[in-house]
């Protein structure tokens, strides 16, 4: 039995947040979406501080992070997360990849008039900064 984890949406624009939430709902994701409005709230959520101190343990399955945020911008949030010495458990990473893969499988559509490719598709590798 798998546990469905949350998606953290970090977006200060109510209009953009509503659009993202509607898109997720339209694709019938079972994940709960937690919406925070600035980078400071995002860090509090991720590190279980302040109003989020009592939230359930565990990282979100996915963080949708705007870069231009009030208080703490998205690049700083990313920097702090990347610099966190706490290692990610292999199983947590595997679960997150499976959930993103399931999302992609459900939402990905072949453009009209094209034919799906067959065979193996190479995976692009992104180098760490």
For 46-68, write each residue's pLDDT tens digit. 999 999 999 998 888 889 999 99
Please give the model's pTM, rounded to 2 decimal places.
0.67
* Mean pLDDT value across residues 40-50: 95
d(CA 78, CA 120): 32
| Helices assigned H by DSSP within the chain | 14-26, 39-46, 74-82, 90-107
**By the 8 A CB rule, do 38 and 77 touch?**
no
Where residue 95 falls among pLDDT bands split at 50, 70, 90? confident
Pick the CATH number of 7-107 from 3.40.50.150, 3.40.50.2300, 2.30.110.10, 3.40.50.300: 3.40.50.2300
Report the pLDDT value the prediction gives residue 25, as an integer from 0 to 100: 85
The pLDDT value given to residue 68 = 94
Handedness of CA 12, 15, 20, 24 (dihedral sign): positive
What ranges do the domains of the chain cover? Answer: 7-107
Query: Residue 8 above 70 pLDDT?
Result: yes
């Amino acid at each position: 039995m798998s546990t469905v984890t949350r998606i953290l949406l970090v977006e200060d624009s109510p209009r953009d947040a509503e659009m993202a939430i509607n898109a997720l709902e339209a694709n019938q994701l079972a994940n709960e979406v937690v919406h925070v409005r600035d980078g400071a709230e995002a860090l509090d959520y991720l590190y279980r501080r302040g109003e989020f101190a009592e939230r359930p343990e565990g990282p979100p399955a996915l963080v949708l992070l705007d870069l231009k945020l009030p208080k703490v911008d998205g690049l700083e949030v990313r920097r702090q997360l990347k610099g966190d010495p706490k290692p990610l458990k292999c199983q947590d990473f595997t679960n997150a990849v499976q959930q993103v893969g399931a999302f992609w499988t459900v939402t990905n559509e072949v453009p009209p008039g094209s034919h799906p490719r067959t065979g193996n598709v190479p995976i692009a590798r992104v180098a760490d900064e």
